[in-house]
Amino acid sequence: MDGESGEIPGSLRSRASGWAGSLRRLGSAAVDFVYPPVCAGCGVIVSRHGGVCAACWCGLKLIERPYCEVLGIPFSHDLGRGILSADAIADPPVFDRLRSVAIHDGIARDLVHDLKYRDRTDLAQMMAEWMIRASDGEVARAEAIVAVPLHAFRLWGRRYNQSAELARAIAGISGKPFLATALLRTRRTRQQVGLGKAARRDNVQGAFSVPETQRPAVFGRRIVLVDDVYTTGATVSAATRALKRAGAADVTVLTFARAVSGLI
C-alpha cells in the first residue's frame, strides 16, 4: 500500500494487469487447442475464430461500389456517383435503400443456409461484422435496429429467427438499440421459396405491424431493417410499410446476401 492512503502502488497494478493478460492469453490458447479455429465455409483450420480461408474468401462475390444507390444492384462499370438502376427508377421501393454483403451464391448462400437451417447461430457474429461494413455507414447513422420477424408458429418450429440473430449481433457490435418487439408478423404466411414475384407480394401483404406500445420507439427514427437474404423484396417491402405507417423517418434494408440475375 502507498503509506496510509490504502492505494495499490502503480508497480503492483501494472504487474497484476500483466498477469491478467497472460491468463487471458493462456485461456484463449487452451480454447483454440480444444476447439481450433476453422473456416466457416469449408472447415479447414484458419488463424482465428470467425473467419474464412483464402479459398472461400475468393469465392465470395462481394457487392462493392459501383452499385445503384437505392437498390444496391452492382454495376459492371462505374457510371458515376449517385446513379440509379433502371429498376429503381421504374419501380421505386418503399424502403429508402438496400445494402447487402454479397451475391446469394456459393459460400454466401452456404453461410445463409447454415445459419438458417443448420443451427449455426455462431455464424451471426461474423456475418454481422461484414453486414456493418456493407451498410456504407447506414448502421452508424441509424437510431435503431429491427429484424424481419417470424410468425410465432414458425418461430416455435425453428426455435430461433435467423434475421433476429443477425440484428442482435449488429446491435451489439455497433452499440445501437435492437428493437426486438417493434415489428410483429401478425399473419401466418406461406413459405416464400418457390413463389413468383407477384405471389410473394400477395403472400406477405399486410402481414406485419408495429404494436401501439412500440410506436414511440419507431416514430421519427432512422431504422436499419435486417434480413438474411433479399430476393424480390416482397417481405422487406411489407415490413417497411408497417414501419413507415408507424412513423419511421428512414428505413435501410440490410441483408447478408441478395439475388442478382446479372450485372448492369
Which cell is 63 given? Answer: 457487392
Confidence (pTM): 0.82
Asked whether residue 53 is domain-assigned, the answer is no
Asked whether residue 29 is domain-assigned, the answer is no
Per-residue pLDDT of 137-159, as tens digits, reads 999 999 999 999 988 777 777 78
Enclosing domain of residue 172: 63-258
pLDDT for 77 beyond 70: yes
Asked whether residue 165 is domain-assigned, the answer is yes
pLDDT for 95 beyond 70: yes
pLDDT for 29 beyond 80: no
pLDDT of residue 48: 76
What type of residue is 52?
V
CATH classification of the domain holding 142 = 3.40.50.2020
Asked whether residue 5 is domain-assigned, the answer is no
Asked whether residue 101 is domain-assigned, the answer is yes
Residues 6 or more apart whose Cβ sits within 8 Å of residue 92: 70
Asked whether residue 264 is domain-assigned, the answer is no
Distances in Å between the Cα of 158 and the Cα atoms of 2, 127, 155, 262 are 59, 20, 5, 33
pLDDT of residue 28: 44
Angle at 24 between CA 35 and CA 123, to 5 degrees: 40
Q: Please, what is the average pLDDT of the chain?
A: 85
Q: How many domains does the chain have?
A: 1
18: burial class by Cβ within 10 Å (0-12, 13-18, 19+)? exposed
Per the listing, cell 445501437 goes with 176
Per-residue pLDDT of 203-245, as tens digits, reads 677 779 999 999 999 999 999 999 999 999 999 999 999 999 9
pLDDT of residue 36: 81
Asked whether residue 12 is domain-assigned, the answer is no
